[in-house]
Each structure stands twice: as C-alpha cells, then as structure tokens.
A and B are shown apart, each in its own frame.
Chain A
C-alpha cells in the first residue's frame, strides 16, 4: 500500500576499510614504494645485472650513468672494489627487509605478550612489566647492541636477535594502554560470563580490537630496526663485509665521500625512501583501521 521508505544500509567494516584504502594517498604512495623495493629485493637474483660479490679491480669507482664517464653498463657505478652498485643495492634491500621483518616479529611477540598481560591483569603483573619497560628504556640501545656484538661477534642472526630483544618497549607500552581501555568493555565481561577461559578472552576478544594499534606499531618498528641496523653496520658492528647492507655501503664509501659523493648518497637515499614508505604505510594503516564512531 504505502511505498516503504528506503532503508539505509550501513557498510560492513570490510567495505569501509577497502573504501578508505583506495582513497588514502599516503598509504597508496607508501605501498607502491614498498612494493617496488620488495620486488627488487625478491627478484634480485633474476633482476640484478651482476653478482654483487664479484670484485673486478679493473673497474673500480666507475661513475654512475648521470656523470660524464658513466655508462649504462653500470647504471649506478661501481664501488672501490669494482662491485656493481645497483646489484649491491638490490641485494642490500633483502638484508634490510629481512632484518627489519624478523626483528619486528621477535620484538612484537615479546612486547605484545608483556603489554597485553600487564594491561589485562593489572596489579603485580603490571608492576613487573612496568619495571621491565623502565629498565629497558633506561638502556641506550645502540651502545648495548654494540657491546653485545663486540662480545659475541656479529652475524645476521646475532643482529636480528639483539635488535629483537631490544626494541619491544613500544609494543609493550601501546598494547598495555589499549588493553586497559578494553578491559572494562561489556563484551569482555560477557565473554567471561559465558565461561571463556582467560586465554580465549585475550585472543578472541581483546586481540582483534587492539590489532590496528599493533599493526601501526609493527610498521614503525620495522623502520626502527632497519635504521638501527644501518647505524650498527656503519659503525662496523653490524653486518660484516662482504654482505651488501646499505649501512655498510655508506661506511665503506665514507673515504671517497669528497670525490664520489654518490657512493654514500645512493644508499642513504634508498634507505630514507624505504623508511619513508614504511612510515607512510603505518600512518595509512592507522587511518584505515581506525574504529568507526558510534552511528
């Protein structure tokens, strides 16, 4: 009889996230940059023109293509041992990404468990975790890393574990704060009243709702780990030659800085671009996964 009034259909959370993703400029730019760098890293064996470890002393310090002496044979030139820069850069991306990812995973697991436990249980657990966080924050990360590496010796594994065990503090702090906010929510009480075990409440009710904060911190910590590794390698206490870490490439190029500035300029730029891309993505993820306000 009467024409019904059209009902507004609210979009599901997935649809909201997709719509936000496609319109968020920062996220898209960061994602594309990261995709390119990751593709280069992944396909390095296929794409790189030369073997990065192949030294050819007859071809030392060739200028990159934009200088007068440069050629497309070595688009980014060669270093002081005659190794092709472009190839080194691509393999270096693998090291940075691998290191960043693994360190983030280790620190993420440690920090998230501590943070959620502290936020959910409060009381003594909170005190203990708070103490651990304070102790960790009072340590100068780079110096401790240097000391450990000096004692144990440096290899990729050692660097990954040292960084992973040192940068978990931001995870813990953010997860603790997020969990405290959620602890009093009625759906947590309802889950407890249904008879859920504590572990189930944490994994099934709390974790999905702190996940967006977790992802944001994770992206920031990848960038953090990459920069730390570069710093350590620059100081000679990180990845050891001949592995093509970007930080190491900057260190090796230090001596030739005045005459061939591109030797540091190139790895420095790529490092900045990678960190920029990750940070843009992190900001983007924060905006995309932000919870909707009340309708």
Chain B
C-alpha cells in the first residue's frame, strides 16, 4: 500500500519589496490513508502556504520547489496545469476557513455541489443531484432536497461549513486538506464539525491534513502532528508523544502557554514565550527560535540545524540531545 501523500524538502519563496520571504523551508511529511496529520503552528509559520503548495494554488509571485511531491504514487510537480486541475477536487480536496468566501453567493448550494461532480466525472444531472443529496444527508443536513435550492446566505456558518465538507467529498477524494475549518465557528458547532469530519474519514478511508493553530483541536483529532515555526517543521511525532513528552523548546513553550481547566492553577501566570515570531526575510543562518529560547547556545547561531530522526515517526530540529530536551520539559512542568 503506497503512501497517500509524500512531501520531501518543500520550499516556497515569495518575493516582497523588503526582500525574499522564505515562507516554507525544507518541509517534509507524509500522510497515509485513514489517518489525520495535523500541521500546527502560529500565524506566519507557513502551514497554510504548505497546503496551497501541495494543491498548487499559491499566490502570484511565489515559487515552489521540492524534492518530491507525490499523491498516490503520482508525481505532482511536473504535471501540466490541466492535469493538476483534474486532480484538484477529484483526488484531493480542500476545505477553507471562511465558508462564506468559498461558496459563491450567486449560485445555489445544489448548483455548486453538482458542478463539482460534473466537472470531474462528466456525470449526468440526475447522478450529480443524487450524490449531492446523499452527501448532504451524510453531513447531517436534513431536508436535503430543499437545501439544494437555497443560497449560501440563507444558511448559518455551521451549515455552510457542512456544505463545504459535502462539496469536498463529491468526487470521493483520497486526500482532504482542511485549513482551519472551524476557527470561525462557535465552540459547540466546532465540536460537531470535528466529530463529523472524524466519522466521515473513518467511513470513507480518506487521509486528512488538518491545519490549525489550536492545540486543543490537535490533541483530539490528530493521529500524527507536525509542529511548524517560521516556515520549518520543528517537531513531528505521534500525538500522544508530542503532548506528553515534547522535545523541541518551541513545542514545550507552546504547551506551557495554554490554560487547561482543571490543570493550570487559576489566577497564576501562564507559561509564555518571550518575544515575537521573526519574519524569515533575506538571508540568515542558524535556528530561528534562538532569540526566544531559554536554552539557546552559541552554536544555535551558526549551524543549519537538520531534522534529527529519533524513531520512525519522531523527529525534531534542535541541537540539544533528546535527554536534555526531556529533562527541560520535566523541570518546566514543576
């Protein structure tokens, strides 16, 4: 069984007036069928651009290149535009954060759902409509027949996001990329949408890349996690390991920042990471986290730090040894 999606050494550069922005650097990961990989990081870490790079819908003035981008064994880098757009929507689909801007307000829901199928599968109107109704019911929308005739503005945010999920499933893709799909939703709706995605994934056996900045979501939905900082992957691992024994100082810092009801003592200071995220413009060397890291050393400025593989699924990008990192984490927890 081949890996569903394999990305090796992905780079994305964007030319700005202030210089060359190295938005994504040396990003490698893989996704298997039936599992969820979470790309987590704060704003500016390059996680959304990574997804756009995989789908090849980057903004203008950006350049991508990679050692390998393969979907179901097929190389995506050298495909003609036409073939790439055939794959988009049918083999891999994307769900965006803001459903109002992803749904065209001028067309009915039914129209947009059916068009997705008819574009890729040359299905008849009747087939497309049946599939649309089937999927709307699968995502929990009752009275699907009536809903098909409605326009996006007539639905609430949660319903629109369900329609987006149905739309992404129309052609039965193997890979779903969800870019912060629940950030704009209320907390109770968010829980429902996440459960829905999870059960659909189990039922249809898709692989999913879930991009978010919310570590709570990552903990509950991920199989594996890749933590990104300043355009690079700084730590990967199975979700349990990442949360219980994080290695990279940034991951440790992030986890310490979160208030957890029942665990963090109310009224006390939360952990914090001093300083701000730097912008990777121009040339630089060494670790981009060093000016915020309490364990930074002289070597951190000069060497380019490789992703050090601890085990099959576990890797981190830091000069400190694994034992030191774990020891730091223990002291931090006290």
A, B from the same assembly: yes
B290:A5 contact, CB within 8 angstroms: yes
The B-contacting residues of A in range 1-19, CB under 8 angstroms, are 1-8
B288:A1 contact, CB within 8 angstroms: no
A2:B281 contact, CB within 8 angstroms: no
B278 at interface by CB-CB < 8 Å: yes
CA distance A7 to B281 in the complex (A): 10
The B-contacting residues of A in range 186-231, CB under 8 angstroms, are none
Output the residue of B281, B288, B291, B297 with the most chain A CB within 10 A: B291
CA distance A1 to B286 in the complex (A): 14
Residue from B18, B291, B297 in contact with A5 in the complex, judged by beta carbons closer than 8 Å: B291
A contact residues around B284 at 8 Å (CB): 5-6
A2:B301 contact, CB within 8 angstroms: yes
B298:A5 contact, CB within 8 angstroms: no
B contact residues around A4 at 8 Å (CB): 291
Q: How far is the CB of B2 from chain A (nearest CB, A)?
A: 40
Identify 11 residue pairs between A and B in the complex whose beta-carbon atoms are under 8 Å apart, listed by A's number: A1-B296, A1-B297, A1-B298, A2-B298, A2-B300, A4-B291, A5-B288, A7-B278, A8-B18, A8-B278, A8-B279
B291:A2 contact, CB within 8 angstroms: yes
Task: Enumerate the 10 nearest inter-chain pairs by beta-carbon distance, A residue then B residue, closest first.
Answer: A3-B301, A2-B296, A5-B278, A5-B291, A8-B279, A2-B290, A4-B291, A2-B301, A2-B300, A8-B281
CA distance A85 to B296 in the complex (A): 79
A contact residues around B290 at 8 Å (CB): 2, 5
A contact residues around B298 at 8 Å (CB): 1-2
Interchain pairs with CB closer than 8 A, number: 24
Chain B residues with a Cβ under 8 A of chain A: 18, 278-279, 281, 284, 286, 288, 290-291, 296-298, 300-301
For the complex, count residues of A whose C-beta is within 8 A of B. Answer: 8
A contacts with B: majority SS: loop
B19 — nearest CB in chain A belongs to which residue?
Answer: A8
Q: How far is the CB of B222 from chain A (nearest CB, A)?
A: 29
Output the residue of A3, A4, A6, A7 with the most chain B CB within 10 A: A3
B contact residues around A6 at 8 Å (CB): 284
CA distance A8 to B288 in the complex (A): 13
Q: How far is the CB of A58 from chain B (nearest CB, A)?
A: 63
Q: How far is the CB of B333 from chain A (nearest CB, A)?
A: 25
CA distance A4 to B18 in the complex (A): 19
CA distance A243 to B291 in the complex (A): 72
CA distance A3 to B291 in the complex (A): 8
B contact residues around A7 at 8 Å (CB): 278
Residues 1-40 of A, flagged 1 when their CB comes within 8 A of B and 0 if not, give 1111111100000000000000000000000000000000
B276 — nearest CB in chain A belongs to which residue?
Answer: A7
CA distance A6 to B286 in the complex (A): 12
Residues 221-247 of A, flagged 1 when their CB comes within 8 A of B and 0 if not, give 000000000000000000000000000
Q: How far is the CB of B59 from chain A (nearest CB, A)?
A: 12
A contact residues around B18 at 8 Å (CB): 8
Q: How far is the CB of A38 from chain B (nearest CB, A)?
A: 32
Q: How far is the CB of B105 from chain A (nearest CB, A)?
A: 19
B contact residues around A5 at 8 Å (CB): 278, 284, 288, 290-291
A19 — nearest CB in chain B belongs to which residue?
Answer: B17
CA distance A3 to B287 in the complex (A): 11
A2:B297 contact, CB within 8 angstroms: yes
Q: How far is the CB of B58 from chain A (nearest CB, A)?
A: 18
Q: How far is the CB of A195 from chain B (nearest CB, A)?
A: 32
CA distance A257 to B278 in the complex (A): 69
Q: How far is the CB of B291 from chain A (nearest CB, A)?
A: 5
A contact residues around B296 at 8 Å (CB): 1-2
Other contacts beyond A1-B297, A2-B297, A5-B284: 7, CB < 8 A: A1-B298, A2-B290, A2-B301, A4-B291, A5-B291, A7-B278, A8-B281
Q: How far is the CB of B121 from chain A (nearest CB, A)?
A: 39
B contact residues around A2 at 8 Å (CB): 290-291, 296-298, 300-301
